[in-house]
Structure 1
Amino acid sequence: MKDNKLKIKDLVTIGVFTVIYFVFMFGVGMMGVIPILFLIYPTVLGIVTGTIIMLFMAKVQKPWALFILGMISPIIMLLGGHTYVIVLHSLVVMFIAEMIRRAGGYKSLKFNMLAFMVFNTWICGSLMQMLLAREKYIELSMMMGKEYVDALIELITYPHMALVYAGALIGGLIGAYIGKILLKKHFTKAGIA
């Protein structure tokens, strides 16, 4: 019987992939300097980081690995001044992604792709802060200037957020599919079908 517990090597792998993911997330996040682009940030993030997370799932096929990797970035953002909304939102999203992955036995390419689609919606929590913790988020965004904040207030509405979540899922699917194509050899070696 294969040991499914996370080992030190797995935790190191989680750490390495988290750093890589965070760098790409931060780079893509720069597009948020233009408020309207904030609405497509989750879509673009999914497309750009799909290969990274799909490779991670091929390398660490153990329970809670994806959950741990997925919770580090929102915790860092909370420590950097974001609101509690991003962490609570991410807890729910990462739990669902982890359960999807578990349902596929960690070796199903289809379930891993679906898990990444859900995983990718965690970043929508950064925008949900505007709706669920408005005053704190406005205060956090004021360093960008009043004009920027006013644009965000106008853009971030519940109907727009429905489109943002749909975009995050679509971006996640595209990113996972790109990862599937680029990493075919890794999936075969890891026994993922």
Structure 2
Amino acid sequence: MKEQKLKIKDLVTIGVFAVIYLVIMFGVGMIGVIPILFLVYPTILGIVSGTVVMLFMAKVQKPWALLIFGMLTPIFMMVEGHTYILVLHAFAVILIAELIRRAGSYNSFKYNMLSFAIFNTWICGSLMQMLWAREKYIEMTMMMGNEYVEALERLVTYPHMALVYLGAIAGGLIGANIGRILLKKHFIKAGII
């Protein structure tokens, strides 16, 4: 199969979906004002954003589309004050997701579902900053107050992060399956894909 190249129309679609994803991500991220809920944030994000990302994957079945789409949000977050660790973590994870998607020729639900489950772990990098760039992360979250920072320091440990990653993968699998149901039920019937 000859690989298709991304066109201007595809880049516009990537941009539109990235904005929708960013809005969902920040909306769901509001639960992070309660430190313990920050640990389930990746799981909930996967469940809530699964439909949008699966629709994106159905619409743009071309190489590097997922990598470009996925990197826009972490780059935006770095510009807003997060560390470079978030971007490096996201790049590694999203590149793996892109390669999984490629293995399924971009149109296999099974491969797209696995790809999204891995893709969804990029957001775990926002918490990994607490472990890998502690001072900078504390400085960034100090506006939430000392109690909040202290709670995060107690909660963000390597054993807890293993559970956060597992939760992100589970949330991605659930979100992908919800997306599959909604795509079949609404978007395909409406002729959107």
Normalised to the residue count of structure 1, the TM-score between the two structures is: 0.95
Q: Give the letter for the 2:171 counterpart.
A: G
Cα distance between partner residues in 2 of 1:171 and 1:146:
30
Cα distance between partner residues in 1 of 2:3 and 2:130:
43
- SS of 1:92's equivalent? helix
Cα distance between partner residues in 2 of 1:33 and 1:82:
17
Identity %: 72
- SS of 2:39's equivalent? helix
Aligned to 1:137: 137
Contact residue 3 and residue 63 of structure 2 kept, 8 A: no
Q: Give the letter for the 1:110 counterpart.
A: K
Q: What is the aligned residue count?
A: 191
1:165-180 equivalences under 5 Å are 165-180=165-180
The unaligned stretches of length 5 or more in structure 2 are: none
- SS of 1:183's equivalent? helix
Q: Deviations over 1:121-146 (max 9, x none)?
A: 00000000000000000000000000
Q: State the 1:50 CA deviation.
A: 0.1
- In structure 2, the CA distance between the partners of 1:39 and 1:93, relative to structure 1 (3 Å rule), is same
Cα distance between partner residues in 2 of 1:190 and 1:108:
18
Q: State the 1:4 CA deviation.
A: 0.6
Q: Deviations over 1:72-102 (max 9, x none)?
A: 0000000000001100000100100000000
- SS of 2:40's equivalent? helix
1:102-181 equivalences under 5 Å are 102-181=102-181
Q: State the 1:62 CA deviation.
A: 0.2
Aligned to 1:27: 27
The unaligned stretches of length 5 or more in structure 1 are: none
Cα distance between partner residues in 1 of 2:180 and 2:192:
13
Cα distance between partner residues in 2 of 1:78 and 1:184:
36
- List 4+ stretches of structure 1 deviating above 4 A: 185-191
- In structure 2, the CA distance between the partners of 1:67 and 1:18, relative to structure 1 (3 Å rule), is same
Matched, 1:76 2:76: yes
Contact residue 61 and residue 107 of structure 2 kept, 8 A: yes
Normalised to the residue count of structure 2, the TM-score between the two structures is: 0.95
Cα distance between partner residues in 2 of 1:59 and 1:123:
23
Q: State the 1:107 CA deviation.
A: 1.0
Matched, 1:184 2:155: no
Aligned to 1:97: 97
- In structure 2, the CA distance between the partners of 1:190 and 1:28, relative to structure 1 (3 Å rule), is closer
Q: State the 1:190 CA deviation.
A: 9.2
